[in-house]
């Protein structure tokens, strides 16, 4: 999928969870690397934004997660507190 199509497909301003670095960012903040959209965190090397999970869906599986995630906090699903 092209970056333009990805951007169209994703609503901006939605919290998503990066499964590679366990952190959250908002859609629209992804980095463009080699014609793909990547996790917003520059030190995240494996975070293809395609694998990001909407926070709302994360919370459906892990209700103990906070309603609104914080930036730069690593959330390990299944744990009560961010690590």
22 vs 59, which CB is nearer to Zn ion?
22
- Site for Zn ion, rule CB under 5 A: 18, 20-21, 39, 41, 44, 47
Report residue 33 as tokens.
């690397």
**Which residue, 37 or 39, is less far from Zn ion as judged by CB?**
39
Q: Whose CA is closest to 50, among 69, 37, 61?
A: 37
Q: DSSP class of residue 25?
A: E
Give the H/E segment covering residue 31.
strand 31-33
- Please say which residue, 51 or 64, places its beta carbon nearer to Zn ion: 51
Shortest CB 19 distance to Zn ion, Å:
8
Min. distance of Cβ 79 from Zn ion in angstroms? 18
Q: Min. distance of Cβ 53 from Zn ion in angstroms? A: 11
How many CB atoms are located within 10 Å of the residue 17 CB?
A: 23
């Amino acid at each position: 999928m092209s970056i333009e199509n990805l951007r169209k497909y994703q609503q901006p301003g939605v919290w998503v969870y990066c499964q590679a670095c366990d952190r959250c960012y908002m859609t629209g903040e992804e980095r463009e690397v080699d014609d793909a959209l990547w996790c917003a965190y520059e030190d995240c090397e494996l975070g293809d934004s395609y694998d990001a999970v909407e926070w709302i869906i994360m919370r459906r599986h892990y209700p103990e997660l906070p309603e609104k995630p914080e930036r730069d906090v690593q959330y390990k699903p299944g744990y009560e507190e961010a690590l």
